[in-house]
Each structure stands twice: as structure tokens, then as C-alpha cells.
Chains A and B, each alone.
Chain A
Amino acid sequence: MALLEVRSIGKSFRGLRAVHDVSFELADGAIAAMIGPNGAGKTTCFNLIAGVFAPDTGAVALGGRRITGLRPHEICRAGVGRTFQVVKPFPQMTVLDNVVVGALNAAARVGDAEREAWRVLELLHLDAKSQTLAASLTLPERKRLEVARAMATRPRLLLLDEVMAGLRPTEVDEMVAVFRRINHETGLTILLIEHVMRAVMALAAHVVVLHHGEKICEGAPAQVVRDPAVLECYLGEEAV
């Protein structure tokens, strides 16, 4: 059964068509990737799903329930966790407190949230930094903190916006392993926007390609990277 159903969503900003008629589905427990050149509308798609903007057209449903038009916090409550491409840590709070805030979404008490936060911090190898202020983390660490915070909300669907960008190849492999493990253990559904093809190929079973705000191709990764249109607009001939 599809956990996420995106039905021909569209959004324009002052006449500029950022996303147009994009539809796709995500099966419960799947890992999928959204790729495409810069400005293709990937982050706008995320923002439409996460409720930052309401789509001009179309609808989004999570687990059969329509979530279009809900506000961001309501969509988080409904089970969508998201990270921001430009990371948004709470700089003057410790790493632990950052994650506790996320964990409070699902935890009944602060103590439970703290336990959950520790668990997630360990998972993402941030436990040694727990008492550090988020302001003094390096960028790769901040990216991991984004993931930790979103995961602590206990989502059914996790939206990851370029969390691998700027990581070294070994760090990418580490993150890939973490997401695989979580997906395998908890059945968490993951949709990631990613330019790091190494991660996309390793993780995603399904790839959606956007270009100029429209979906130009969709399918298994091996199939997508051979698609002439995708090669032309995004990957280039070298990728094959």
C-alpha cells in the first residue's frame, strides 16, 4: 500500500512555475530518491509535502489521509519528519536538547524524550557531542543533527533534503548504512533529495527525476540513469 501519494501537485511563485503537475507514490517501507538539476523544484516539492506552502493544485495524502493544507506542525504530528537543505539547528541549545525537542513530538514526558534522544544520537554517532552547543558543530555534524532531530519525532515518512552534501565518501557510506539499518529495522519510509549519486544508487529502490518543475522520468535507479532525458539534463554522458 502506498504510504505517500502525491497527486499532480503544482506551485507557482509570482508567476514562476516552480513545480508543475508532479505525481508519484511511495510504498510503505520504501526508500526513494528525488534527483534533478539545481532549481528543478525538488525542495519546493518537499515544502509542499511538509506543509511549508500549500500547493496551488493537486493533493498530498499520507497513509490514505489527505494532508494538503495542514500546517507544518500538524504534518509533523501526522508522521512526516523533514530536514532542511540549509540546516536549521537551534544554535544556542546543546545537541542533546536539540534532539529532545524533536523527541517531544512523540514522547509523553521530558524524561522519555531524553531517552529517545540518546538512542537517536547514538545511532547517528553524535552521542559524544551531546553537551556541545549546536552552534559549534561542523557542517557534516549539523547535517547529522538535522537527521537526528527529524528522526526523533518518530516519523512514518522521513524527508531528507541533501543530507549527504559535503560529506566525504566514507561518511556518505556511513550515513547510507545508518539509513539502511533504520529502514530495515523499523520500516521507516524515506524520501531523499540527493546529488550524491553514490548514496542514491546505494539506497534508493525508486528514483523520481525532476526538471524545470516537472517529473521527466521515474523508475528503478539503474533504469533512470540510462534514460536519455535524464542524461541530457542532469547526469551528463559521463555518468553511465
Chain B
Amino acid sequence: MRALVAGLPARARAVLALVAVLLLGAPFAVDAYVLSVLILCLYFAYTGQAWNIMMGFAGQLSLGHSLYVGIGAYAAAALFVHFDVNPWLGALAAIVLCTLAGLVIGFLAFRFGIAGVYFAILTIAFAEFTRIGFDHWNWLGASGGLFLPVKERGVTDLATLRGPPVMFYYAILALTVGALALSRLLLASRLGYYWRAIREDEEAAQALGIDTFRYKMVAVGLSAAMTSLAGVFFAFYYNNLFPEQIFSMGRSIEIILGPIIGGLGTLAGPIVGAFVLTPLADGITELMQLLGIETPGVKQVFYGVCLLVVIVFLPNGIWPAIARRLGFAPR
């Protein structure tokens, strides 16, 4: 615990404490709608962090992270639906499967020198053909979807992850905080130095004794494993899974927007980005309704303009711009 806040000035610690209190107390102060938005914010904060480890830290661009969300979700859900397997065990299976999937993709790419945009295309390809495969996999409901039995929503049963939104809120909050702590520890470790070196210049990293293949594999495996838990969360929170949705390219893009807007490779960037973008998307919908505008596509255009503004004026993301002011000295 102490290692996590070491080196942070008092002001930054105060900000952290305030945010912690707000997040912990939020369910008691907000209505069901706001809570659902907060859950979505945290969901993207978590997946964004998982993606950030691979791209932000180690410099490996994945545009197919929906693959790991999908496999994780389907693994835990199928075990639960078909074999009544406890979701916590299902989560273990999800982690194992997604880590393997990540390592296979990583091995193919890194062994055969596929890098940069070509690596990104490979990640898209894997997500896409998995989507098509799942569309025809009847045991998992195929394109018709896989549904989890919804029991009494008033009862909180943490063991089988059946309960009200508030339970899911704290679950995803715990995941997000855990990911933040892990990211901070990793970044300050040998692994963190190696990843950043690989991201900055792979040839120079090799010349300094770094087995770049190995550490890139670690980044992909870890990122996939973390993302799989988001999938498990997704399955048990929404109770329905469709390959068209969960494996879609759009989902992968949603995951990476938060870290990019918030600050690629930074610790808080993915979280800040998610908390800016998610309410923005929802807010625009509300705003459009308020103004009585129903022209299709206006929402997307407005959202795109907002992204454009951030990217033009804050090319390094939102977080680096506010970090100094909040007392988080930029490293």
C-alpha cells in the first residue's frame, strides 16, 4: 500500500483520497441511471488500462482487444450456463484461455517480425474470424446469442455474481483500482523499464540486453488476461452475449479511445479518458433529445468533433495536462 503512493506529494494524495471517497460513496448518492453510467465509465477505465499495458507501456498496438473481452465473457458464461460452474472459477478459465490466445497471436507476430500496423491488422483479423466462428457455434447460441439466467435481482450473491447493479459497481471499481495498482508497480519495476525501452526503440533495447521477444509476450499475455476479466464482468452484468456485438471492431475501438484521449502510457490516462468520454457519449444523446434533434448520425459527428478537439489541443492526452496542477509531478 505504501509503495503505491510513495513519491506522491501531499496534494496528489489528497486528490486521490477525495476521488476514492467519491467513488466509494457514489452508489449512495446517485440514481440508477447515473450508477449505470458510472459502471460503464469504470468498465472502460479498466479495459483501457489493460490495453494501455500493451500499447502505452510496451508499444504493441492491438486493435482487436474485443477478442479477449469476448472469449472471457463466453468462457465464463458458457461454463455457468452449461455446467453450472461458479463464475469465479469461470474467470480463471477465462484468464487461461485469453492468455493463451494473446500468446498465440504474440508468438505468430513477434517470431515472424510482424510489427507496427501489421501487428495491429493481425489483432483485428483474429477478433474478426473469432466473431465469425462464434456466429456459427450453436453450443454458444451462435448469432442468436447466449443468455444467462437472471434470478432475483434484489438479492446479492457474490459467489455466483448474481445481484443488483450496486454489486457490479463495486466489482468493477475493485478491478479498476487493482489494475491501477498493478500498473503502477509494473511501471516502476524492471518489466516497466524494459517495456518502455521496447516501445521507444526495440533495436536499442536488444543491444542493452533485453530479450524483447519475451517481454513483448509478457505484455500481450498480461493485457489479454486482464481484459478477459472485463469480459466475465460484461457477461454477468448484461446477461446476454452476441458475437456481433462483443467481438465487433467498434468495441475494440471503444476500449482504446479512453487511454488515447486520457494519455497514452500514463497511469491515470485510461481512467480519466473513460470518465470523460463515456458521460460525453451519453450526454450527447441526452442533449440531442433535449434539442429535439433526431437526425441520425448527428450524435456520432458531435462525438467525433469532441475527440478531434482533444487530440488537436491536447495531443498527449488530458491527463498530462492536468497532472501537474493536481500535484502529480510528471515523471
Identify the A interface with B (CB < 8 A).
50, 52, 71-73, 76-77, 81-82, 84, 88-94, 97, 100-102, 104-105, 110, 113, 149-150, 153
Closest to A84 in B: B204
Distance to closest chain B CB from A28 (angstroms): 21
- Report which of B196, B209, B212 forms a contact with A90, defined as CB distance below 8 A: B196
Distance between Cα atoms of A72 and B211 in the complex (Å): 9
Interface check B245, CB cutoff 8 A: no
Contact A104 B194 (CB under 8 A): yes
Q: Which of B33-41, B61-69, B155-163, B185-193 contacts A (4 or more CB under 8 A)?
A: B185-193
Contact with A along B199-218 (1 / 0, CB 8 A): 01101111111111000000
Distance to closest chain B CB from A108 (angstroms): 10
Interface check B101, CB cutoff 8 A: no
Q: Contacts A76-B208, A97-B196, A153-B208; is A90 near B201 (CB within 8 Å)?
A: yes
Contact B209 A77 (CB under 8 A): yes
Q: Contacts A73-B210, A105-B209; is A90 near B204 (CB within 8 Å)?
A: yes
Contact B203 A90 (CB under 8 A): no
Interface check B331, CB cutoff 8 A: yes
Interface check B197, CB cutoff 8 A: yes
Distance between Cα atoms of A113 and B194 in the complex (Å): 13
Contact A76 B209 (CB under 8 A): yes
Residues of A near B331 (CB, < 8 A) are 94
Contact B208 A101 (CB under 8 A): yes
Closest to B206 in A: A72
18 A-B pairs within 8 Å (CB atoms) are namely A52-B203, A72-B203, A72-B206, A73-B209, A73-B212, A77-B209, A84-B204, A84-B207, A89-B204, A91-B200, A93-B197, A100-B193, A101-B205, A104-B190, A110-B189, A110-B190, A110-B193, A149-B204
Contact B188 A110 (CB under 8 A): yes
Residues of A near B203 (CB, < 8 A) are 52, 72, 84, 88
Contact B189 A101 (CB under 8 A): no
Contact A102 B208 (CB under 8 A): yes
Contact A88 B201 (CB under 8 A): yes
Contact with A along B55-79 (1 / 0, CB 8 A): 0000000000000000000000000
- Report which of A71, A102, A110 forms a contact with B206, defined as CB distance below 8 A: A71
Closest to B316 in A: A92
- Report which of B194, B197, B201, B207 forms a contact with A72, defined as CB distance below 8 A: B207
Contact A101 B212 (CB under 8 A): no
Distance to closest chain A CB from B172 (angstroms): 31
Distance to closest chain B CB from A138 (angstroms): 18
Contact with A along B2-44 (1 / 0, CB 8 A): 0000000000000000000000000000000000000000000
Distance between Cα atoms of A100 and B200 in the complex (Å): 14
Residues of A near B190 (CB, < 8 A) are 104, 110
Residues of A near B193 (CB, < 8 A) are 97, 100-101, 104, 110, 113
Residues of B near A91 (CB, < 8 A) are 200
Distance between Cα atoms of A73 and B216 in the complex (Å): 14
Distance between Cα atoms of A101 and B211 in the complex (Å): 12
Distance between Cα atoms of A37 and B196 in the complex (Å): 36
Closest to B193 in A: A101
Distance between Cα atoms of A232 and B208 in the complex (Å): 38
Contact A82 B197 (CB under 8 A): no
Residues of B near A52 (CB, < 8 A) are 203
Contact B209 A153 (CB under 8 A): yes
Distance between Cα atoms of A50 and B203 in the complex (Å): 11
Distance between Cα atoms of A52 and B209 in the complex (Å): 12
Contact A90 B200 (CB under 8 A): yes
Closest to B210 in A: A73
Residues of B near A71 (CB, < 8 A) are 206, 211
- Report which of B194, B201, B206 forms a contact with A89, defined as CB distance below 8 A: B201
Closest to A76 in B: B209
Distance between Cα atoms of A71 and B331 in the complex (Å): 32
Distance to closest chain A CB from B14 (angstroms): 24
Which residue among B188, B197, B211 has the maximum number of chain A CB atoms within 10 Å of its CB? Answer: B197
Residues of B near A100 (CB, < 8 A) are 193
Contact with A along B253-286 (1 / 0, CB 8 A): 0000000000001000000000000000000000
Distance between Cα atoms of A77 and B203 in the complex (Å): 15
Nearest first, the 6 A-B pairs at minimum CB distance are A90-B200, A105-B209, A76-B209, A88-B204, A72-B206, A101-B197
Distance to closest chain A CB from B183 (angstroms): 16
Which residue among B188, B189, B196, B206 has the maximum number of chain A CB atoms within 10 Å of its CB? Answer: B206
20 further A-B contacts with Cβ under 8 Å, apart from A72-B206, A110-B189, are A71-B206, A71-B211, A72-B207, A73-B206, A73-B208, A73-B209, A73-B211, A81-B207, A84-B204, A84-B207, A90-B204, A92-B200, A93-B200, A97-B196, A100-B193, A101-B196, A104-B190, A110-B188, A153-B208, A153-B209
Contact A93 B207 (CB under 8 A): no
Contact B196 A93 (CB under 8 A): yes
Contact A50 B189 (CB under 8 A): no
Closest to A50 in B: B207
Residues of A near B200 (CB, < 8 A) are 89-93
Residues from 112 to 170 in B contacting A, C-beta threshold 8 Å: none
Distance between Cα atoms of A232 and B149 in the complex (Å): 87
